């Protein structure tokens, strides 16, 4: 068998129906759209429109609550911090700050702060300065002989003006 001999199985592919190609084609003149009406025209977009009836997506109940002022943290795992230290992208001797994590490429942007989670192992003694840390991650860093300093985020401009 050669590449030029490869074929689909018989009946696996079907030719596309070409509409509006004369009465002999079976889909000529109106092209299967019927006579007049909105659906016979081009540019019809009525997928969710139900003829004045309340659409399904509006009838279904909405669940949950999205907090408008929730915090969005950049998440880092301990295993990745350890990996970046062994690769030489992070310096374990100095304090690892949020800016150092961004400079190393481990975190793309700070957002509302960096939060460290406990996924992965850490054996290097490190000093972390981050906005948030999980309990398990803090215990793992302290077990390795390091320390974690939790930064208090600076108040927003509106809050500072109110005080």
Give the tens place of pLDDT for each residue, 80-136.
998 998 888 888 888 888 899 899 898 898 888 899 998 988 888 889 899 999 999
Give the tens place of pLDDT for each residue, 62-92.
999 988 888 899 999 999 998 998 888 888 8
Whether the CB-CB separation of 122 and 79 falls below 8 Å is answered with yes
Query: Whole-structure pTM over 0.75, yes or no?
Result: no
Whether the CB-CB separation of 98 and 129 falls below 8 Å is answered with yes
pLDDT at 115: 92
Whether the CB-CB separation of 77 and 86 falls below 8 Å is answered with no
The contacts found for 150-159 with CB under 8 angstroms, 24 or more apart, are 151/98, 151/113, 153/112, 153/113
Q: How far is CA 160 from CA 20, 108, 120, 150, 155, in A?
A: 68, 28, 39, 21, 6
CATH code linked to domain 74-153: 3.100.10.10
Intervals of CATH 3.100.10.10 along the chain: 74-153
pLDDT at 77: 92
């Amino acid at each position: 068998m050669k590449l030029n001999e490869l074929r689909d199985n018989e009946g696996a592919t079907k030719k596309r129906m070409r509409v509006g190609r004369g009465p002999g084609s079976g889909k000529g003149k109106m092209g299967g759209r019927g006579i007049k009406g909105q659906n016979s025209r081009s540019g019809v977009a009525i997928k969710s429109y139900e003829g004045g009836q309340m659409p399904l997506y509006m009838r279904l109940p909405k669940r949950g609550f999205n907090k408008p002022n929730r915090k969005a943290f950049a998440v880092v795992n301990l295993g990745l911090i350890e990996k970046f230290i062994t690769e030489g992208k992070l310096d374990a001797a100095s304090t690892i700050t949020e800016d150092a994590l961004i400079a190393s490429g481990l975190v793309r942007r700070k957002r509302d702060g960096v939060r460290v989670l406990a996924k992965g192992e850490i054996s290097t003694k490190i000093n972390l300065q981050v906005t948030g840390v999980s309990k398990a991650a803090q215990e793992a860093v302290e077990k390795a002989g390091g320390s974690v300093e939790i930064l208090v985020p600076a108040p927003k401009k509106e809050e500072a003006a109110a005080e």
